[in-house]
Amino acid sequence: MTRYLLYFLIFIFSAGFINAQTISLSNQTALPCQTVDFPIVANGLPSNVSAVTLKIVVDSDVVYFTGHTPGTMTGYFINFYQDTIGISWSNIYGQNLNGTMLTLHLKYHGGSSILGFHSSCELAAGLYPIFVNYIDGSISPKPLVHYYVDGAVGSSGDGLSWATALKKISEATNKPLEQGSRVFIKPGLYSDTMVVKKSGAEIVPLTFGVTVSDTNKITFPESASLACIDLVNYPGSYYAYVYRSWKGNNGVYKITGVNKAARYVIVDEASFVPEAGATADSSLLQASIGMPVVFEKYASNPETQRIILNPSGLGGRAALHIGKIITTGEFNVDPANYNIVDGIDVTGSVSSYGLRIQNSRFNVYKNSRVYELDSIGVLISGNTAKPANNNFILNNSIYNTTGKAIKIGIQDQGSPNNRANLNHVKHNEIFSSGTTGTKINYVNAVEICRFTGYTVLEDNTLRNFKLKNINRGAIEIRDNVRKALAYSNYIRNIDRVNTGTHAAFYLQNLGNNNNVFNNVIVDSAALNNDVFAFWVNVNGGYTGGKIAYNTVHYVDNGFNLVSGSANVDFEIRNNIMSLGPTTPVNYVISGTGLFIVSHNCYTSEPVGQYPGEPGRLVGNPSFLQPDFFLSPYGFSLLQGSICIGSGDPVSAITADFREMGRDATSPSRGAFEDAISNIYWTGKASTNWHNYLNWSPEFVPVNTIQATIPLRSNLPVITDSNAACKGFQLEQGASVSIQNNRILQVF
């Protein structure tokens, strides 16, 4: 009887504390891939708690347990199994556990979930239970905060709407931007500097062994987790970054779909050629996924409505600086990673640079103009502790900068301050807009400085400028550069100001596995300016260099090969050298080291030919239209060309200028593998049939090419002159308008 009375008294005593004795979790919000701290808080517990058993059920698709920090309770055992966090603790002496007992650390993937206490939770004081009210917690998506900038407003508001817009771009960079935040900027002239200081989020780190397929699908290996992609709550906020493609797949693509179990994403605006990377091979295809901060133009007509950033008179290290400046030292910059700057033009800077990406990674500058500067257009540089890796310069126009258009690394710095790897320069146009003035000539268009690596120059157009310093190259790959790729670039009308040796490509000694292939180099002026297509100076040796599958037309000179070392591992193969009509020279050779030269095609017997070249071919390569210099596709081969199928395979180069596959045993020479037989109307520039920019590839049909017209918003109109094609196909709903008594002749 006494024992039952004691239990009854304990029950009555405990019942009085049911409402006061609590263990609780909080309700929180987070952004994907953030770590969220959930304190387990006790209130009203007696001071003699001797045993604790807690079980908290979570949804591991939403959160994942990553760790814990002790609080008032120490020496406990904790585990995570089948969506349950189990915590057990005992102390025969009793201990006051009120306050934060411990803190759980959970990685948030996205979505919503209850963090619920299991019914088997219990506390005890000695042999007796303690009655506790367990209060569940929750996790849910944190809303994104966007900012708005309008230079036309009278004064700045809080920037959270167009009605309360900020007046300056620099004000937006000082806001508490987070991953997924967007800064919308209206067109206008901004007398301002822009320093990007914040970082977006890395969702999937840079990963080897990825595969691209099906035109828009990226598949990651088993080691990768796509758990943090939440397209339901954050649509349009995730981007895939594709690096080191040898087939034109490089770029930054918005993710529109995901299959987490199969580890693949679907992306927008891609046209992938099938390609796969390899485990732990940084020279091949790889990818990452980010949730960046985005600065973007808000315009109804982005091409004609411009955001112009002009910091003249304001000082600063650059008009647009990516990286948080922390002290006065040039390299004392904290990283700002995963940012996209879309459609912000830079001009008029009297500071050091137009755009500078310093010590920062995974940034994108695209769809913009860098022009009329007193200095270098774009600089990417970093140091050992904070490298400037994995950045993209995409779809920009860069013109009339007095120094260099694009510079990767800083040549006069030692190795510690030249950490800039895996940076990609794609689909930019670099040129001079006039014929006179101080800003129209370059030291280089692109300079890749020593100790940098894995740079990719792809699908850029360099045109109509002069090299103003002696002994330079339009694209200059300096000494001690490793594993650069330069392919599918179109280089035309490169001249020089002073006498000396100049070249479209200049490769310096001690390089390691640098590859120059599938480029088209032409000179429509035929000026006898003594510029070489390629200058290779390997006095100190070279490892694994290649110049292959390039097409050269009307450039005065072919190769200037300088070697003072027997350690020359450099191939020159399968190039078409259709040089200028005025005393062309194919080879100028000095030194004793031998290059590996074979299977090149020359329009006439080479002057200064390389000794003992196997597979040399002499004759007309038969270009499609060699007098059409606006587009590289005029230098495609005609059916029956002596260069089709007569080359020798070069390892790792399996696609041509158009990303068409090369024959594995008998590839063609030059930049193009096959003759063009069919082209497609895009209408991206206008309705004018005769505008080459309206076709893919960019070439107006002739009597050897079939024209296919799909349904587009701009359909072709033939009005200025007659047109011709070999075949003609109208897809459903499409049409061609023929006006002014013009004729479309179909052969």
pLDDT at 609: 76
- End-to-end Cα separation, the chain, in angstroms: 112
The answer to whether residue 31 sits within a structural domain is yes
pLDDT at 605: 87
Identify whether the C-beta of residue 440 lies closer than 8 Å to the C-beta of residue 431: no
Q: Beta partners for 344?
A: 307
Closest CA to 60 of 23, 115, 102, 104: 115
Rounded to the nearest 5 degrees, what angle is found at the Cα of 527, between the Cα atoms of 523 and 530? 85
Identify whether the C-beta of residue 296 lies closer than 8 Å to the C-beta of residue 146: no
Report the relative pairing of strands 84-95 and 122-125 from DSSP bridges.
unpaired
pLDDT at 7: 39
Amino acid symbol at 436: T
Closest CA to 50 of 120, 104, 128: 128
pLDDT at 315: 78
DSSP per-residue string spanning 331-374: T-EE---SEEEESEEEE---SSEEEEEES--S-EEES-EEEEES
pLDDT at 9: 36
The answer to whether residue 380 sits within a structural domain is no
pTM: 0.94
How distant, in Å, are the alpha carbons of 210, 264, 587, 647, 705 from that of 221? 6, 9, 46, 35, 41
Closest CA to 687 of 672, 709, 667: 709
pLDDT at 510: 94
Domain boundary among 236, 263, 291: 291
**b/e for 658-674, b at 16 or more Cβ within 10 A?**
bbeebeeeebbbbbbbb
pLDDT at 194: 96
| Parent domain of 131 | 2-141
Same domain for 34 and 134? yes
Same domain for 535 and 654? yes
Same domain for 642 and 621? yes
Q: What is the CATH number of the domain that holds 258?
A: 2.40.30
The answer to whether residue 175 sits within a structural domain is no
Same domain for 18 and 117? yes
Q: How far apart are CA 113 and CA 136, in angstroms?
A: 11
Same domain for 74 and 130? yes
Closest CA to 341 of 278, 292, 290: 292
Beta-sheet strands, E only, within 348-455 = 353-358, 364-366, 369-373, 376-381, 392-394, 397-401, 404-408, 424-426, 429-431, 444-448
Number of domains comprising the chain: 4
Amino acid symbol at 711: L
The answer to whether residue 179 sits within a structural domain is no
Closest CA to 204 of 328, 102, 291, 126: 291
Same domain for 466 and 597? yes
Give me the half-sphere count of Cα atoms (radius 13 Å) on the Cβ side of residue 138.
Answer: 8
Domain boundary among 627, 656, 674: 674
pLDDT at 402: 84
The answer to whether residue 639 sits within a structural domain is yes
How distant, in Å, are the alpha carbons of 5, 422, 518, 622, 700 from that of 625? 106, 36, 18, 9, 11
Q: How far apart are CA 364 and CA 239, in angstroms?
A: 11
Domain boundary among 291, 311, 335: 291
Same domain for 224 and 236? yes
How distant, in Å, are the alpha carbons of 26, 203, 234 from that of 143? 18, 18, 9
Sign of CA dihedral 59, 60, 61, 63: positive
* 697 preceded by a cis bond (ω within 30 of 0): yes
The burial of 550, by beta-carbon neighbours within 10 Å (0-12 exposed, 13-18 middle, 19 or more buried), is given as buried
The answer to whether residue 123 sits within a structural domain is yes
pLDDT at 312: 86
The answer to whether residue 372 sits within a structural domain is no
Three-state SS for 693? helix
Residue with tokens 């309700």: 27
Same domain for 19 and 110? yes
DSSP per-residue string spanning 266-290: EESS--PPPEE--TT-TTS-EEEEE
Same domain for 560 and 498? yes
Q: What is the CATH number of the domain that holds 47?
A: 2.60.40.680
The answer to whether residue 529 sits within a structural domain is yes
**Stretches in the chain below the pLDDT threshold 50:** 1-18
Phi, psi of 15 (to 5 degrees): -60, -30
Same domain for 588 and 464? yes
DSSP per-residue string spanning 695-735: EESSS---TTSEEEE---SS--EE-SS-EEESEEEEPTT--
Same domain for 546 and 626? yes
| Tokens found for residue 76 | 């406990």
Report the relative pairing of strands 49-57 and 27-30 from DSSP bridges.
unpaired
Q: How far apart are CA 568 and CA 565, in angstroms?
A: 7
Same domain for 666 and 543? yes
